[in-house]
Amino acid sequence: MKALDTTTRIQLQNILFLTDFSPAADAAIPYAKEVTKRFGAKLFALHMRTPVINPMTEPATWTTLEKAAEIQATEQRETLRKSFAGFEPQVLIEEGDLYAGVLDIVEKNKIDLIVLGTSGRSGAAKFILGSVAEEILRQAPCPVLTVGPFTPGRLLPDGKIKEIVYATDFSPESVRAAAHAISLAEEFQAHLTLMHVIANEAPGDLLLPGELVKATEQHLRNLVPAEAELWCEPRFVVEQGETAEKILQVARERDADLIVLGVHQTTGFPGAATHLPIATAHKVVSHAPCPVLTVRGYVREAYRKSARA
């Protein structure tokens, strides 16, 4: 496995923040701000509301409903502008299907990153924006930064991400995510931990042989360009067990500020998420002590050649 091309660097030029104005959504605001500032990106803030006019209601009430909705939309735009004071976000209050609306905005504005807040319910991974928002994580054509229920609503006091944990199964999707982890580590001058979890094939499996651990560590080392080691101080971790649990364990041990995962392409109907490869990311997002960046295998290229000296 070859090291990543060191002349490429991720450029986040357009960032989309999703909100339903809930506390869970608001918790993602500081992270949207920090990433926007770090990359000098343009920020879009989107709220998708349900249709104002229900065909089953009396037509005589439609004008009243539309006026009330416009007043509310004006208040919501002002709320978002105040939340992102100094960033001059393009505020979008749209009506219709959430998932379809988000995809349309992503394509029209060449969005490089979606930021949203989530909430866990009864120990299960339920997104505060609803099951459709879960589809955003599963199928978004760009990386998604999710701020879960166990993530503080602010960054570190100095506003920096200092510890990044990147987990890989060496699939093409996860290797692509390595570029994001390394670029973010460079942008924030953060420490980077690269890890791989070898799943137990059966209860009571013996410890991994030293040769396998050593070979796996070397695969992890091969993902990091030589010069990157000068500033991100990479650590290499090989664990054995249940993948999501081990990722969460290492993130807590490292006091991580960000987890980066590659998400496998999936098929099937929306409700099938718990039976698909994304189930690991789903569990990590729901229980992580920090934001989680998921990168899909077919995302639009977000790399540009860097002329960094």
Tell me what pLDDT residue 97 has: 82
Range of the domain at 178: 8-305
Residue 106: what are its φ and ψ, rounded to 5°? -60, -45
**The predicted structure's pLDDT at residue 309:** 34
Closest by CA position to 191, among listed 257, 104, 129, 249? 257
pLDDT at 172 over 70: yes
Query: What mean pLDDT is predicted for residues 239-263?
Result: 93
* Contacts for 101 with CB less than 8 Å, ≥ 6 apart: 46, 48, 94
Task: Tell which wins on pLDDT, 140 or 164.
Answer: 164
Question: Does a structural domain hold residue 144?
Answer: yes
Domain count, the chain: 1
In-domain check, residue 250: yes
Label the pairing between strands 14-18 and 42-49.
parallel
Intra-chain end-to-end CA distance of the chain, in Å = 26
Average pLDDT over every residue of 226-247: 86
- Evaluate whether residue 252 is within a structural domain: yes
Residue 45 has pLDDT above 50, yes or no: yes
Of 26-40, 139-153, 254-268, the least confident: 254-268
pLDDT grade for 80, boundaries at 50, 70 and 90:
very high
pLDDT value of residue 301? 45
Q: Give pLDDT, residue 278.
A: 65
CA–CA separation, 101 vs 111, rounded Å? 13
Looking at residue 54, its pLDDT comes to 67
The structure tokens listed for 130 are 């609803």
* CATH number of the domain encompassing residue 145: 3.40.50.12370
The arithmetic mean of pLDDT across residues 49-58, rounded, is 69
Average pLDDT for the chain:
79
| 88 in a structural domain | yes
Note whether residue 42 is domain-resident.
Answer: yes
Is 3 among the domain residues?
no
253 Cβ neighbours under 8 A, 6+ residues apart: none
CA distance 103 to 160: 30
**Over 50: is that where the pLDDT of 144 sits?**
yes
Helix (H, G, I), strand (E, B) or coil at 41: coil
Residue 1 lies in a domain: no
Label residue 237 by pLDDT band (50, 70, 90): very high
Under 8 Å between Cβ of 141 and 106: yes
Distance from the Cα of residue 39 to its chain's centroid:
16
pTM of the model as a whole: 0.84
| pLDDT at residue 202 greater than cutoff 60 | no
Higher per-residue confidence, 276 vs 68: 68
